[in-house]
Structure 1
Amino acid sequence: MTITTMETKLKFIHGFSNKIRLQILEAIKFEEKTVSQIVEETNGNQSNISQHLACLKGCGLIVSRQEGKYVYYSLRNAKIHELLDMFDLVLEDVENDVACCQNHVD
């Protein structure tokens, strides 16, 4: 793997590495939503959610579309949905180890 490919991969994974970004991805996993809907579902604030949406969009994980005065956000494609599902499946196998891991404490 080249250094450029590794750096790109790290940027991609970074999109998943934040609690709020992960909450946003889960919120739009099954249907597109507006910023207001995402804010309500995640109990966040609009400014913070908007920053994380920009990050997710920049990482290529989500897309947006404008309809009138509303912007709707959704997962980029079914592969992102599958990846979120795969995280859950893998987590089932390693959950106890992850929970006990002392290397990644907040």
Structure 2
Amino acid sequence: MLKVDIDTKMKFMHGFSHKTRIQILECIKENEKTVSQIVEDIKGNQSNISQHLACLKGCGLIVGRQDGKYVYYRVRNQLVRDLLTMFDVVLEDVQNDIASCKSHID
């Protein structure tokens, strides 16, 4: 079994711990997009989206490709897309428990 440092694992999981970052990941899950396209799709503001893109890139979840004056962002690879899909599969099974969890803080 792979041995991964727990601190590194937590930094990786941090990429998934904010609503805007999840929205961005879902937005670019299938197709690469520019910041402007992401802002339009998720109805955010450019500065905030750019900060979250930097976090996602730092966590290794997305990559950027420069094309002229635009940077196109996409999910890093199929493994990350599969992980996003797996979240949905697991959540379908446990969503009622999560909704009623008294320990969950928004």
Compute the TM-score of the two structures, normalised by the length of structure 2.
0.95
| Stretches of structure 1 lacking an aligned partner (at least 5 in a row) | none
Gaps of 5+ in 2: none
CA–CA separation in structure 1 for the residues paired with 2:104 and 2:33: 31
Counterpart position of 1:78: 78
> Which string of whole-angstrom CA distances, capped at 9 and with x for unpartnered residues, describes residues 60-99 of structure 1?
0000001011100000000000000000000011010011
TM-score, length of structure 1 as denominator length:
0.95
Q: CA deviation at 1:104?
A: 1.8
RMSD value, Cα: 1.4
C-alpha distance in 1 between matches for 2:21 and 2:104: 18
* Stretches of 4+ aligned residues off by more than 3 angstroms: none
Aligned to 1:12: 12
Equivalent residues in 2 for 1:20-35, closer than 5 Å: 20-35=20-35
Number of positions where the alignment pairs a residue of Structure 1 with one of Structure 2: 105
CA distance in 2, matches of 1:102, 1:56: 29
% of aligned pairs identical?
68
